Amino acid sequence: MRLLALSGSLRARSSNGAVLRSVLDLHPGPSGTADIGALPHFNPDLDGEGATPPAPVAALRTAVAEADAVLIVSPEYAHGVPGVLKNALDWLVSSGECVGKPVAVITASPFPTGGDHANAQLRETLRMMTGDVITAACRELPAIGPKTDPATQRVTDEATLADLRTAVGRLTAAANERSATAS
Ligand SMILES: Cc1cc2nc3c(=O)[nH]c(=O)nc-3n(C[C@H](O)[C@H](O)[C@H](O)COP(=O)(O)O)c2cc1C
């Protein structure tokens, strides 16, 4: 069960990056990440019939295609989805790698709301893209700052780690179910 994790934060000491690393630590199978910061701005002129996609776009599409499940971990900016993440999703709308793919969204914020606006918007976009949004694996993590260790860049709060373990377990269970149905 290969898990691909995408971060909506490009910040070196990102709290969402800490959540992402912790989830990958908890996932027993193969996993990977993709560098969405290297993507050009989405332009349908570069994405038409017969067009060769820019190399970072092709790499992202391959990474999503090869994953059995996708996890998005993101902050919320101005009650919305970070532009870099929406840009990445826009590159994936027409190419189809997300169709039927089990996907979950985790938003982490220093505030009590846990990035709820961005979480809802991401789920809506992924549903529109006909991804299989596994609601039971989605999380809004509030007051994330003190729950992470800047030195290890991991989550240290035991309750949050237990909840993340449950979330990634539900996502991988959905992916396993999908591959069992397909075979
Ligand atoms: C431009 C900007 C807008 C922000 N807007 C929100 C917001 O609407 N809701 C929220 O919960 N946090 C907001 N924040 C705070 C981020 O959640 C916080 O900076 C967080 O640490 C970013 O995630 P990261 O640590 O993974 O980079 C904003 C931060 C910035 C820089």
Q: What is the pLDDT of residues 133-148, one digit of tens each?
A: 999 999 999 999 999 9
Q: Which two tokens stand for residue 1?
A: 């069960």
Residues with beta carbon inside 6 Å of ligand 1? 9, 11, 14-17, 75-79, 109-111, 113, 115
Strands 148-149 vs 154-155: parallel, antiparallel or unpaired: antiparallel
Q: Identify whether the C-beta of residue 13 lies closer than 8 Å to the C-beta of residue 21.
A: no
**pLDDT for residue 15:** 98
Q: What is the CATH number of domain 3-182?
A: 3.40.50.360
pLDDT of residue 168 exceeding 90:
yes
| Band (160; pLDDT cuts 50, 70, 90) | very high
**pLDDT for residue 182:** 87
**pLDDT for residue 49:** 83
pLDDT of residue 86 exceeding 90:
yes
Average pLDDT, the chain: 97
Q: What percent of the chain has pLDDT over 70?
A: 100
How many Cα neighbours within 13 Å face the side chain of 82?
Answer: 21
- The one-letter amino acid at 32: G
Report how far apart, in Å, the C-alpha atoms of 37 and of each of 68, 87, 128, 176 are. 22, 9, 23, 30
Q: What average pLDDT does range 27-43 have in this prediction?
A: 96
Domain boundaries, the chain: 3-182
Task: Quote the ligand 1 centre to 49 CA distance (angstroms).
Answer: 37
Residue nearest to atom 2 of ligand 1 (CA): 77
Choosing from 76, 116, 121, 153 the residue with most ligand 1 atoms within 8 A of its CB, the one to mutate for a pocket test is 76
Q: What average pLDDT does range 17-38 have in this prediction?
A: 97
